[in-house]
Amino acid sequence: MVTSSDLLCGFEELSVKLRRSVKLDHLLALTDHNGLLQHARFSVPARREGYTVDDNARALVFAVKADRLVPNPNILELQRKFISFLLLMQEEDGRFHNFMDFSQRIIDELMVGDHLGRAIWAAGAAINSNMSSGMKASARLIFDRALPWARASTSPRTRAYACLGLHERLYAEPDDSNLRVNLKLMADSLVALYNTSRASDWEWFENILTYDNPRLSQALLAAYLSLGEQTYLAVAETTLRFLKETETINETHVPIGNRGWYVRRETRALYDQQPIEPGAMIEAATIAYKLNRSKLYEEILRQALGWFFGLNTKSVELYDDSTGACYDGLTPKGLNENQGAESTLAFLLAAEAFVNGFAQD
């Protein structure tokens, strides 16, 4: 287990300790013949509640990078299941259903939302991996069919996830000018949102802070790495600083609560705090810190990691290093004792980003 004293270590030493705490037991328990189940009742998979593209896409992003964090003989089979699930849920026109019940019945209408953007991110990560040529071909099919819908979307998060997928694919296919054009379009649209919404006391892309907020900043960091446009870096750094200031209370990371979120000029919600927010903060701040070694990003990383290991408003540990599961968050009464896919993946993705970001420093 990573302790509060470990969080004061140098990042190379901390990455070693964090790697030792990672296990895939719970991720494997949540994955059946269809894919990754969405929820758990306490630590037991809640089969009745079925599956989502959201979670299987996040799981694929992790699975194609997992060997660098925690080698496991089951990783290849996980990759196959997750990419197969995305293929199942995508229609020929490129849109996705998001929800499937345990009997393999699709229970929602086609729509363009977060899940489509996350599928593009997952497909890009798969293309930029050591997966087999056949699985990469499937990932390209998913990616190419979905991308036009992301271009047409007005959702900041759909576009941010698509930016991450475009960045991944560009790393694997750097000579593809069409990928560059699309990444620039998506990143420019995020900058335009920022310029429309920003004020001296509100350096953000929207007039509300909700969930997975750091992904928007992370998307611009990824676009900067791929395209070298300084504006993307400037907006990413400004918005990350704003998030850090907004989500820090008494030197403790306090994610925006989902019971009302934080509407501009209104009172922010303290609960429920969800792991998706500190997890994304770690992923974004790892990139930012590697770029300029700022004290700001060091503080973000230590505080957001600390949230998982007891440095939070309830002083409880959310990550269970005996199984690799993460609890679903903090409520006004304390720990939410369910251990669903989103929460566990939030930690695993953050751990992968941090460990592989600093292991060689």
Q: Using alpha carbons, select from 285, 287, 279, 271 the residue that is nearest to residue 345.
A: 279
3-state secondary structure 142-158: HHHHHHHHHHHCCCHHH
78 in a domain, yes or no? yes
| The model's pTM | 0.97
Q: Which domain holds residue 337?
A: 6-358
Whether residue 40 is contained in a domain is answered as yes
| Closest alpha carbon to 166 in 123, 215, 218, 113 | 123
Q: What is the pLDDT of residue 1?
A: 79
Asked, for residue 230, whether it belongs to a domain, the answer is: yes
- Looking at the structure of the chain, the number of domains it has is 1
Q: What is the pLDDT of residue 361?
A: 45
Cβ-count burial 67-105 (b if 16+ within 10 Å, e if not): eebbebeebeebbbbbbebbebbbeeebbbbbbbeeeee
pLDDT digits (tens, 9 = 90+) for 39-98: 999 999 999 999 999 999 999 999 999 998 999 999 999 999 999 999 999 999 999 999
pLDDT 10s digits, 235-267: 999 999 999 999 999 999 999 999 999 999 999
Instruction: Name 45's bridge partners.
Output: 40
For 147-189, write each residue's pLDDT tens digit: 999 999 999 999 999 999 999 999 999 999 999 999 999 999 9
Question: Can you give the pLDDT at residue 360?
Answer: 63
Would 122 be classed as within a structural domain? yes
**What's the CA gap between 114 and 224, in Å, rounded?**
22
User: Which pair of tokens denotes residue 321?
Assistant: 């290093």
User: E strands of 87-239, at which residues?
Assistant: 99-100, 208-209
The answer to whether position 77 is within a domain reads yes
Per-residue confidence band for 343, with pLDDT thresholds at 50, 70 and 90: very high
Q: Do the domain assignments include residue 67? A: yes
* Domain assignment of residue 1, yes or no: no
- pLDDT tens, position by position, 276-304: 999 999 999 999 999 999 999 999 999 99
Is residue 338 in some structural domain?
A: yes
Give the rounded percent of residues in the chain with a pLDDT score beyond 70.
99
- Give the span between the Cα atoms of 240 and 191, in whole angstroms: 14
Residue 196 sits in a domain whose CATH number is 1.50.10.10
